[in-house]
Amino acid sequence: MKYKELKIAENQKVEIEYSKIKNDDFLVKSTVFNVGHGKINDTEILHSIANDSSNEEYHLKTEEEAIKKCEEIYRKWQDIPSCSGGYSNEGTADLIVYIPNNRKDIDDIIANFILDVKGQMAYKGYLKIKEDDYGNDKQYWKELLKKIPYKEVSTNHFAVNLWIPGYLNNEVEISKYFLNIDKVIKSINENKKGWGRVICPNCGEEKFEYSAQNDRADGLCRNNCGFRIHTYI
């Protein structure tokens, strides 16, 4: 019989069950299921669990032992941070990070998952060679998370949206990028529309097209100056 089911990521769940088998023994099993996979609107769907645990199986002598083992497995999965969401070949990433109650190192955990996504992007050729010189350790992203906004969208689930190439540069250029984000967000707020065109803070031309809703903004300069945003605001 199914003991418990636990959502461990946006598109993953683990089912824990036990059943009586021959010789009056009890079999306990935990199975991880991918609820969804593939691509949505050309966005790669990410399934990343911060642990090497997979399916498990145990043989116990009594039902009491079986229930105890099920509860042990359930508690273990509750204590594992996980990440789901997606990233694109244009460098944008939309991540939902689950952080258990017993973990207080929120920036550390989110930084680890951004590092993982950055590595996957580089492996697939979504980043330029120059960009791959930066952002190769957790501390790099942890420092940037002091300025990159993220939001608790539900209990223990934190969302972060970012255009990763914007943060793969030297300190001077990253500071300039943060400043330009602030400037364009101010312009978007002053425009008081969910979509439109404002002056690009990078090149000065009124060719920055954006959409903004639900505390998030995405935009790109059509003057080909390279400035882009994908962020919570």
Task: Tell me the pLDDT of the chain (233 aa) as tens digits.
Answer: 888 888 766 567 788 999 999 877 999 998 887 655 443 334 444 444 434 446 889 999 999 999 999 999 888 888 888 888 889 999 999 999 988 887 888 999 999 999 999 998 999 999 998 888 999 999 999 999 999 999 999 888 899 999 999 999 999 999 999 999 999 999 999 998 999 999 999 999 999 999 999 899 999 999 999 999 999 98
Q: Check residue 139 and report its DSSP letter.
A: H
Looking at residue 42, what is its pLDDT?
A: 42
Domain-located, residue 149: no
Torsions phi, psi for 211 (to 5 deg) = -135, 140
Question: Which SS3 state, helix, strand or coil, does residue 58 take?
Answer: strand
Determine, yes or no, domain membership for 128: no
Q: Does residue 157 sit within a domain? A: no
Tell me what pLDDT residue 47 has. 43
Domain span holding position 186: 180-233
Q: How far apart are CA 182 and CA 15, in angstroms?
A: 44
Instruction: Let me know if residue 73 belongs to a domain.
Output: yes
Residue 211, CA distances (Å) to 83, 87, 159, 161 in order: 25, 18, 18, 14
Q: Is residue 186 part of a domain?
A: yes
Number of structural domains, the chain?
Answer: 2
The confidence score (pLDDT) of residue 7 equals 74
Place of tokens 């003057």: 223
The answer to whether residue 19 sits within a structural domain is: yes
pLDDT, position 140: 97
The 3-class secondary structure across 196-212, one letter per residue, is EEECCCCCCCCCEEEEE
The residue type of 85 is G
Residue 232 covered by a domain: yes
pTM: 0.76
Instruction: Provide the 10 A C-beta neighbour count for residue 19.
Output: 12
Torsion of CA 162, 163, 168, 171, to 10 degrees: -60
pLDDT value of residue 182 = 97
User: Is residue 57 in some structural domain?
Assistant: yes
